Amino acid sequence: MATTRSQRTTRPSYASSAIALLAAVCAAGLTTTHPVQRTLVAIEALGVFVVLLSAVGRQRGHRLGGLSLLLAGGGVVGLALGLSTVFPAGLVERGALVSGMLGPVVLLLGLYPVRETLTRHFTGVGIALLVGAIVIRGWLQGIGQLQLLAAVALTLLAWDLAEQAVTLGRDVGRGARTVIVSLTHTAGSLLVGLFGVAVAAGIYGVPPSTLPLAALALLLAGTLVLGLALYLGHLEQAQNPVERL
């Protein structure tokens, strides 16, 4: 009894998981171009949250209610996914939609979790699917610039909160209240995302220069290398953790 309970409590925490899934679903919604696609994502979102609710119910001892919610939510998600594979006309368009819609579902598999040891793999794959959808949409130029930026920000937010859910689960388990902590963390990450979107939109608003794309890419590469150098210096302390008595 004691061991099963302790195993259960190291699972990803609910509050952060819910916010992560919300961010992922929103990102998926932002990568759509047609109202029908948006409806499909909304149906999927409903299913995803019903499944998460079933996890809450099962933990609180409502086995039957939890199971029925799980089945209902799973059915709704399956329906939305099935429709997404048949609805759009073009193969690439269809790929973008399916990839975007699979992202939150795989994330859910990680956070539910289907298997605790695979949580991080699932979240990684879920986020990668969302990135794939974003890249295809950016290539197709089907969505607006701001929409694309917001989708990127939300995808990263989903990743961050999924990680937060995992670490919270390891540290305090599912029994503890984590809403305040999750919201504080979300607020910080959301602000950074908004800042990034604002900066990118600002750069986009600058009148087109004669600078070729390659030069711009080099500039970005330079920034990236600088950032990496700083980051690695930051990480050095991880190899030699500071210990204070």
Partner 1 sequence: MTTIERTQRWRTAFVFVLVTSAAGVYLERPALLLSSAVALAYAAYPLVTPTPTVDLALSRTVTEETPAHGESVTVTVTATNTGTRTLPDLRLVDGVPTYLTVTDGTPRHTAALRPGASTTFEYAVDAKSGTHRFEPATAVVYDVSGGTRIRTEVEAGRDPEAEMERERETETETRGERETESGTGATDRLDCAVAVETLPTRRQTRRQTGRTAVDASGTGIEFYQTRAHQPGDPSNRIDWRRFARTGELTTVEFRAERLRTVVLCVDARASARRRKRPGEPDAVAYSIAAATELLRALLVAGERVGVAVVGDEFEWLAPDRGGHHRAEASQLLRTHREGSSGREERPGSTPKSASQSQSQSESGSQSETHSERIQQLLVRSQGAADVLLLSPLLDDFGVTATERLEAHGHPVTVLSPDVTTTETLGGELARVERRNRVRSLRERRVPVCDWTPGDPVDWQRATKNRPGTTGQRSEVGEDLLGVAEGRQEAAEGQSSDERGWS
Under the criterion CB under 8 A, does residue 243 sit at the interface with partner 1?
Answer: yes
Cβ atoms 124, 80 nearer than 8 A: no
Q: Both ends of the chain: CA-CA distance in Å?
A: 37
The region of 42-50, 55-63, 92-100, 159-167 touching partner 1 under the rule CB under 8 A is 159-167
Peptide bond into 113 cis (omega under 30): yes
Residues numbered 3 to 32 that lie near partner 1 (CB under 8 A) are: 3, 9
Under the criterion CB under 8 A, does residue 121 sit at the interface with partner 1?
Answer: no
Chosen residue from 75, 78, 82, 188 binding partner 1 by CB under 8 A = 188
Chosen residue from 131, 158, 165, 190 binding partner 1 by CB under 8 A = 131
Strand ranges for 63-189 from DSSP E = none
- Minimum Å gap between C-beta 68 and partner 1 is 27
Phi-psi region at 208: left, alpha or beta (left = phi > 0; alpha = psi -120 to 50): beta
- Minimum Å gap between C-beta 237 and partner 1 is 6
Measure the CA–CA gap between 244 and 238, rounded to whole angstroms. Answer: 14
Measure the CA–CA gap between 40 and 29, rounded to whole angstroms. Answer: 9
- Minimum Å gap between C-beta 91 and partner 1 is 17
The region of 38-46, 49-57, 65-73, 231-239 touching partner 1 under the rule CB under 8 A is 231-239
Under the criterion CB under 8 A, does residue 220 sit at the interface with partner 1?
Answer: yes
Residue 136's H or E segment, with its range, is helix 119-140
Longest CA span, the chain: 69
Residues numbered 54 to 113 that lie near partner 1 (CB under 8 A) are: none
- Minimum Å gap between C-beta 181 and partner 1 is 4
Among 184, 132, 130, CA closest to 158: 130
Phi-psi region at 53: left, alpha or beta (left = phi > 0; alpha = psi -120 to 50): alpha
Under the criterion CB under 8 A, does residue 235 sit at the interface with partner 1?
Answer: yes
Among 71, 36, 70, CA closest to 54: 70
Under the criterion CB under 8 A, does residue 205 sit at the interface with partner 1?
Answer: no
Q: Which residues sit at the interface with partner 1, rule CB under 8 A?
A: 2-3, 9, 127, 131, 134-135, 138-139, 141, 145, 148-149, 152-153, 155-156, 159-160, 163-164, 167-168, 171-173, 175-178, 180-181, 184-185, 188-189, 192-193, 195-197, 199-200, 203-204, 213-214, 216-217, 220-221, 223-224, 227-228, 230-231, 234-235, 237-238, 241-245
